[in-house]
Amino acid sequence: MIEVIDTYGMRLLAGLWTTVELVAIATVLGAALALPIALARVARNPLLRWPASAYVFVFRGTPLLIQLFIIYYGSGQITAIQDTSWWPHVREYWGWICGIVGLTLNTAAYTAEIVRGGILGVPHGEVEAARACGMTTPVTYRRIILPRAFRIAWPAYGNEIVLLIKSSVLVSTITVLDLMGQARTVFSRNLDLNSYVVAGVMYFAMIYAFDRGWRAIEARINRHLGERTDARTKRVFESGPA
Amino acid sequence: MLRRKFVLAGTAAVLAAGLLAAPAQAETVRIATEGAYPPFNMKDKAGKLTGFDIDIANALCAQMKAECTIVAQDWDGIIPGLLAGKYDAIVASMSITEERKQKVAFTVPYYKNYLRFVARKGKPLMVDKAGLKGKIIGAQRQTVSAKHLETKFKDSVKIKVYGTQQAAWLDLKAGRTDAVLADIYPGQDWIAKNKRFTFVGKKIDINDQIGIALRKEDTALRNRLSAAIRAIRANGTYAKINAKYFPFDIYQ
Amino acid sequence: MGERGRGPDGNMWDLLQYGDQGYGDELVRGALYTLILAAASAVVGVAIGLGLALAKLSQSRGTRLLAFGFTAIFRGVPELLIMLVVYFGVGIAITRIVALLGYASRVEVDKFAAAAFALGLVFGAFASEVFRGAFLAVPKGQIEAGLACGMRRTQVFLRIRMPQMWRFALPGLGNLWMILLKDTSLAAIITYDELTREARIAAENSGEAFLLYGAAGVIYLVFTALSTGAIGRLERRADKGVRRA
């Protein structure tokens, strides 16, 4: 294992950085996309509800690999893309771009459901009190529902980000040299299984560190609730996926 | 409840049986090929393996008077599979390289390969270090093409590697790479089907000999295969197979 | 590679036909292989999950630690990585072990076994938590009543805890099944001929990526919808006779 780290350590670190980049960007973009979708999902208007539900159904019901292939190889079918002026500048990163798009769309669907769960978990008494005080719906959302929903959904959302980190390995199939992509290239050189083992340890460490950090933040944002052994506050490594 | 236990036990038994196979019979040679590398190894419309490599493998087995089974295995896993004992020989247009010789042993070569760049027609490309500077070149992972790009063009081109040759061609078609460096005969095969692409530059001779890979300890089988290769070269069988796919002798 | 042409009128939908001209039969076969892989992995996973759950509930601290450690590893490492290690490594490992024991025979780990084993391990790790929660949710009163009636601990386990546990475990297991269905697509990367791989071969040869991956996506959606319905029905059946709060 030391030889792998010695010879290929820099490559694997470069891959790790790419993975972190991908996950961070997809998380932010996915969250931004998830919020309107979640709001649409709980809306009273079916014209808002239906498309949102369909989106969530499709992106949660199909494998990420298929989604990535459709985006990457499908875009290869659209020859018009090759004729645009910006193509020469982006084509080198096309796999990366497709990876971001795919991961974002996928995580947005799962995150929207988590946010929806959070919204639905807000004690109705608080919403009623807001209405009684004369708050309009947008204000109620902004001041009462969303802050509370955010805290309720925090553990589940952390879980989702962990799943995103694990799903990010699939971008290695569309030519992105993330940590998994580098590991596969290294393995194809030295045929040493340790290449994968080292990558595995790096992923495990990344996820473990993230989980600790997330739970520390959770303790802080919920500190007004005092010490609690909340059944919902489960460790990522112990509870099931959201 | 009890039935559930039976189902669990039964499936466990089936899985165990699937994991452990009986030891190979003495006279059956299990051969692996990729199946994604026209015209050397590919799957026909019915899904059967066919191509130059398959014909050569069958001819060699006939020469050795042995039973052969040919299976498909993806390129990334083809050497690990050999080392793990899934099959006994690899006939998949594999180049004899020093790197590979550290893990496996090769027979005498059964043809010689050249590399050549493939690019879109009408876009002139000088295939030297200067001409290719900044360009994106594709190649299949774990091949001599990929190695050649990395050693000779390291600081000037951006290299993209793919799991299969087909994936490399697809990205070339989609304009994501400027050119692909590939083996000359599969390249020729692909150009014939994709008229908007052509070879650029001369063929690159890195003395790339193609051989059959075996585990290092299987010296007996290796010698028999080498002898068979020489035999079919001598008795005209090789020429017949060669003529089926190429109008010229690919041995040299 | 087996190229299919478009029909004489150049219609791309012809690519979905059965038989030699279209990829329809390959996709259906792939879909079948997907189901088989998912089923086998689920069986392995439930077995491993139950074992791990019992280990986590055991009196011995060492056993508990091992079980939690195992779970942490298989939940903190990407499934694809595990599959690749199993695929490439287990064959070599078993061959070496078997060689040490004196047998010269070679052991094959084929793609199906590797994929089922890897997916089963991950399923089992997650399922162990579901089972653990489910065991803990069985009302203590019933266990005490069983013991009071003079049942042995094993009898209490088999007759009271196990049957009731399934009711609590179903939602979690159902969730894991849905995830497993989609994770079978990872087996495409070790070239097991399930649905995603068949779609990829078809798309690469025909150039119609949207159509073929789209068709595969629709099949997965059908599986998802059918599974959701089936799991819902199972849950309702299991909850028969239970008073809701």
**C141-193 residue pLDDT tens:** 888 898 898 888 888 888 888 888 888 888 889 989 999 999 999 999 888 88
Q: Round the average pLDDT of chain C to a whole number and report it.
A: 85
Q: In C, which residues are within 8 Å of B86 by CB distance? A: 91, 106, 108-110
The torsion region of residue B49 among left (phi > 0), alpha (psi -120 to 50) and beta comes to beta
Q: In A, which residues are within 8 Å of C76 by CB distance? A: 162, 203-204, 207-208, 237
Split at pLDDT 50, 70, 90, the class of B73 is: confident
C94 contacts B19? CB cut-off 8 A: yes
Please count the other Cβ atoms lying within 10 Å of the Cβ belonging to residue C233: 10
Rounded to 10°, the helix A179-190/A194-221 angle is 160
Say whether pLDDT at B22 is over 50: no
CA within 13 Å, CB half, B32: 23
Domains and CATH numbers, chain A: 2-225 (1.10.3720.10)
User: Which pLDDT value is given to residue C243?
Assistant: 67
Pairing verdict, β B89-95 and B136-140: unpaired
Nearest to C186 among A58, A65, A193 (CB): A65
A185 contacts B175? CB cut-off 8 A: no
CATH code of the domain in which C91 resides = 1.10.3720.10
Q: In C, which residues are within 8 Å of A196 by CB distance? A: 81, 84-85, 88
A189 contacts B99? CB cut-off 8 A: yes
| Owner of token pair 């946010």 | A115
Q: In C, which residues are within 8 Å of B42 by CB distance? A: 1-2
Residues of B at the A interface, defined by Cβ within 8 angstroms:
76, 79-80, 83, 99, 103, 136, 141-142, 158, 160-163, 170-171, 173-176
User: Which pLDDT value is given to residue C92?
Assistant: 65
Q: In B, which residues are within 8 Å of C204 by CB distance? A: 166-167, 170
* CATH, domain B113-207, list 1.10.10.60, 3.40.190.10, 3.40.80.10, 3.20.20.210: 3.40.190.10
User: Which pLDDT value is given to residue B23?
Assistant: 45
A239 contacts C175? CB cut-off 8 A: no
**DSSP 8-state class, residue A140:** H
Find out if CATH 3.40.190.10 is the number for domain B25-112+209-245: yes
Measured torsion, CA atoms of residues C222, C223, C225, C226, in degrees rounded to the nearest 10:
110
A175 contacts B162? CB cut-off 8 A: yes
Where do the domains of chain B lie? 25-112+209-245, 113-207
Residues of A at the C interface, defined by Cβ within 8 angstroms:
57-58, 60-67, 69-70, 73-74, 76-77, 162, 165-170, 173, 180, 183-184, 187, 193, 196-197, 199-200, 203-204, 207-208, 236-241
Comparing CA positions, the residue from A52, A242, A217, A42 lying closest to residue A127 is A42
User: Which pLDDT value is given to residue B59?
Assistant: 92
Nearest to C77 among A73, A200, A239 (CB): A200
Say whether pLDDT at C36 is over 90: yes
A237 contacts C78? CB cut-off 8 A: no
Nearest to A188 among B141, B160, B174 (CB): B141
When pLDDT is averaged across residues B136-148 and rounded to a whole number, the result is 91
User: Which pLDDT value is given to residue C87?
Assistant: 86
A188 contacts B76? CB cut-off 8 A: yes
B167 contacts C43? CB cut-off 8 A: no
Tokens of C80: 């694809």
Pairing verdict, β B49-50 and B179-183: unpaired
pTM assigned to the model: 0.85
pLDDT in tens, C78-109: 999 999 998 887 666 666 676 666 655 555 55
Contact indicator for B211, B153 with CB cutoff of 8 Å? no
- Please check whether residue A185 touches B, CB under 8 A: yes
C186 contacts A238? CB cut-off 8 A: no
Residues with Cβ within 8 Å of residue C180, at least 6 apart in sequence: C38, C41, C42, C45, C119, C123
When pLDDT is averaged across residues C105-117 and rounded to a whole number, the result is 74
Tokens of A52: 């949102």
Contact indicator for A41, A49 with CB cutoff of 8 Å? yes
Could you tell me the CA-to-CA distances from B169 to B49, B143, B181, B186 in Å, in that order? 21, 15, 10, 11
Residue A187 CA to residue B15 CA, distance in Å, equals 28
Nearest to A77 among C78, C188, C207 (CB): C207
- Please check whether residue A184 touches B, CB under 8 A: yes
Q: B12 or C122: whose pLDDT is higher? A: C122
Would C243 be classed as within a structural domain? no
B45 contacts C191? CB cut-off 8 A: no
Structural domain boundaries enclosing C85: 23-238
B11 contacts C46? CB cut-off 8 A: no
Q: Round the average pLDDT of chain B to a whole number and report it.
A: 85
Q: Is the peptide bond before B39 cis (omega within 30 degrees of 0)?
A: yes
pLDDT in tens, B195-245: 899 998 888 888 899 999 999 989 999 999 999 999 998 988 899 898 888
**3-class DSSP assignment, residue A233:** coil
Q: In B, which residues are within 8 Å of A91 by CB distance? A: 136, 175-176
Residue C9 CA to residue B45 CA, distance in Å, equals 20
Comparing CA positions, the residue from C28, C78, C141 lying closest to residue A206 is C78
Comparing CA positions, the residue from C137, B155, B77 lying closest to residue A196 is B77
A61 contacts C220? CB cut-off 8 A: yes
C88 contacts A70? CB cut-off 8 A: no
SS3 content of chain A, % helix, strand, coil (to 5): 85, 0, 15
C108 contacts B21? CB cut-off 8 A: yes
Beta bridge partners of A130: none
Contact indicator for B73, B164 with CB cutoff of 8 Å? no
**3-class DSSP assignment, residue B155:** coil
Tokens of B232: 């079919």
Would C70 be classed as within a structural domain? yes
Q: In C, which residues are within 8 Å of A58 by CB distance? A: 217, 221
Contact indicator for C181, C38 with CB cutoff of 8 Å? yes
Q: B142 or C185: whose pLDDT is higher? A: C185
Specify burial of residue C64 (Cβ count, 10 A radius: 0-12, 13-18, 19+). middle
Q: In A, which residues are within 8 Å of B170 by CB distance? A: 73, 76
A203 contacts C76? CB cut-off 8 A: yes
Residues written for chain A:
242
Q: What are phi and psi of B183, to 5 degrees?
A: -65, 145
Closest chain A residue to the Cα of B174, Cα to Cα: A76
**3-class DSSP assignment, residue A197:** helix
User: Which pLDDT value is given to residue B7?
Assistant: 62
Q: Which of C73, C92, C182 to mutate to test the interface with A (most CBs of A within 10 A)?
A: C182
B12 contacts C47? CB cut-off 8 A: yes
Residue A227 CA to residue A229 CA, distance in Å, equals 7
Would C13 be classed as within a structural domain? no
Instruction: Write out the H or E segment, with its range, that includes residue B73.
Output: none
Q: In C, which residues are within 8 Å of A74 by CB distance? A: 209-210, 213
Contacts across the A-B interface (CB distance below 8 Å): 39
B141 contacts A184? CB cut-off 8 A: yes
**Which stretches in chain A have pLDDT values below 50?**
230-242
Would C143 be classed as within a structural domain? yes
Fold identical between B25-112+209-245 and B113-207? yes
In b/e form, how buried is each residue of C33-47, taking b as 16+ CB within 10 angstroms?
Answer: bbeebbebbbbbbbb
Percent of chain B at pLDDT > 70 equals 88
A92 contacts B162? CB cut-off 8 A: no
Closest chain C residue to the Cα of A57, Cα to Cα: C221
Residue C245 CA to residue C239 CA, distance in Å, equals 13
